[in-house]
A and B are shown apart, each in its own frame.
Chain A
Amino acid sequence: MDDKEMKKMVLDYVKREYLEEGDDREITESTPLISGGIVDSFSMVSLKRFLEKKFSIAIPDADASPEAFDTVNSIVALVNRFIK
C-alpha cells in the first residue's frame, strides 16, 4: 500500500470514528486532530487499535504520543516506522 492509499484509509477512519453527525468540519491530511480538538486523548485509543489491526503492527505506548497522532500525515509517518 502506498502512502496515498494509507492516508486516505486513515482519513476515512478519523471522519467515521470522530465526527459527530452534523459536524461539517473539513478534515485534511494536515488538519491538527488532537490540538485542534477533533480527537481528545481519551478517545485516541481506538485510533491506535485501528492502526495496529489494519497494518498488523504494534505501536508501543511511548510512541503513541499526542504529537505523533496529531495529523494524518504524522500518523502515516509513525505507521511507516513500524511497518518497515
Chain B
Amino acid sequence: MFSDKCRQSYINELNGIKQQGIFKQERFIHAPQGAEIEVEFPAGASTKKVINMCANNYLGLSSHPEVVKAAHEGLDVRGYGMSSVRFICGTQDIHRQLENKLTEFLGTEDTLLFPSCMDANAGVFEAVLTDQDVMIADRLVHASIVDGMRLCKAAQDTYKHSDMEHLEAKLQEHQDKRNRMIITDGVFSMDGDLAKLDKIVELAEKYDAMVFVDESHASGFIGKTGRGTHEHCGVLGHIDIITTTLGKALGGASGGCVSGRRELVELCRQRARPYLFSNTVAPVIVYGALKVMDLISKTTERRDKLEQNTIYWRKLLKDAGFDIKEGESPIVPVMLYNAKLAQDIATDLYAEGIYAIGFFFPVVPKGQARIRTQLSAAHEKHHLDKAIEAFTKVGKKYNVLGKGKKEIIEMYGM
C-alpha cells in the first residue's frame, strides 16, 4: 500500500531533483516531426511555432510522404500488431526482409531486430560474452551500453575517450582473457565526434579483440553512402557487432538491431532477453523502415544535403563567435561550460523561436555544459539563417560571442 509516509518519501525525492535543477519536463508538440514544429510549453500555454534544432531526424524522413504512405500500406496488408514475441508467432516475412536489408546496408553478415536500440544494447553483451571475457569500453559510450555491460558477467574496463594509447594498454592488460571486446559509439551523441574506427580495428587485429560499435547517430548519413562510421573510416566489413536504431535517421519511429558476425547474431536470437521477452517492432514500422532503406539505398541526396547543412551551420556559428566542438557530424555542441548559462540561453532561444536544449552534468561532465544543436536534411537555408540570427542576439545578450572557455568560466563560473 502507498501510505502517506511512503508518498512523502517520494515527494521529498522529487523535490531533491528539483532543487538540483535537473527536473525534466516534457514539451508537447502539436505537429508531425519536422524542421518547423508547433510546441506547447509550458503545459497549458498556447502553442508556438519554432525551428527544431534538437531532433535526431537527421535525414528528414520522420514525416516523409513516401514513408508515411508505406506505413499506411503496411497497416493494410500486415495489420496493426502481432500480439506475440518474435519466436512464438511474432515474426512476419517483412521482419526478415528488413533484417536482410539492414545486413546489406551495414555490410555485415546477419541482423536481428530488437524493440529498440536500448534493448539491443541491453541484451547483446550478456548473450555473447561470459565471465571468461572482458569488455573494454570508451568512457563516453551511451547509457544503454553501460546498462548492457552491467547485465553481463564478463569483466569490465574502460579507456579514456578516444585515447588509443590507453586502449592499447588495456588490451595488453587483458590478454589473459578468452575473448576481448572493444566497445564504442560510432558517433558520440553529446560531442558529435567520431570514433577512430580505423585505429580501433588495427588494435583489435593486433591484440585479437572483437569490435562493437553503436551506430545510432551514424547509420544513414555518416560515410560517403551513409552506411556509417565504419564506411567513413574505411573499415566496412571489419566490425564484429553493430547496433543501431530505427528511431533517429532511419525514419525515426522505433526499433533497433544487432548486426554483425553470423554466429554472434544467432546467439542473440537464442539468448538476448529483450528479443526473447518483448514484442518486436510493429508491421507499420517495418513497412516504413523498408521504404526508408529503399530511399537511402537509391540515392545519397538526403545525406549530401545534411552534410551541406552541417558545413553551413558550423560556419555560421563560428563566424558569429561561438565556441563549438569541432567535427564533421551534424551534432554541433555550442560550449557554454556553465549549467545555468546553458539553460538560460536555451530559454531565450526558445523565446526567439529556436528549439534547442541545454545539457549539463550528469549528462555531460562537470564544467562542460552546452547547447547541443542537431542538423537535419529537412532544414532549409532560411531555417539556419533565422536560427543564427537568434543565436547571435542571445549570444550578445550574455556576452559570450568571441569568448573561449577561460573567459566564459571567468564570467559565469563552472
Contact = CB atoms under 8 A, between A and B. Distances in A.
B156 interface: yes
Given A37-B361, A40-B139, A45 B158 contact: yes
A36 interface: yes
A46 B157 contact: yes
A21 B170 CA distance: 18
Nearest to A38: B366
Contacts of A46: 157-158, 170
Contacts of B409: none
B160 interface: yes
A42 B146 CA distance: 7
Contacts of B170: 46
Interface string B136-155: 01010000001000000001
Determine chain A's interface SS by DSSP, over half rule: loop
A43 B139 contact: yes
Nearest to B149: A42
Contacts of A26: none
A57 B162 CA distance: 31
A20 interface: yes
Contacts of A49: 157
Contact of A45 (B156, B160, B366): B156
Interface residues of A, number: 11
A42 B366 contact: no
B146 A20 contact: no
B20 to A, nearest CB: 13
A37 B160 CA distance: 14
A46 B365 CA distance: 19
Nearest to A37: B366
Contacts of B163: 20-21
A40 B161 CA distance: 13
Nearest to B156: A45
Nearest to A40: B139
Nearest to A42: B146
Given A37-B361, A37-B365, A40-B139, A45 B161 contact: no
Interface of B: 137, 139, 146, 155-158, 160-161, 163, 170, 361-362, 365-366
20 contacts: A18-B160, A20-B161, A20-B163, A21-B163, A36-B366, A37-B361, A37-B362, A37-B366, A40-B139, A42-B137, A42-B146, A42-B158, A45-B155, A45-B156, A45-B157, A45-B158, A46-B157, A46-B158, A46-B170, A49-B157
3 nearest CB pairs, A to B: A37-B366, A43-B158, A45-B156
Given A37-B365, A42-B158, A45-B155, 9 more contacts: A20-B160, A20-B161, A21-B163, A37-B361, A37-B362, A42-B146, A43-B139, A45-B158, A46-B158
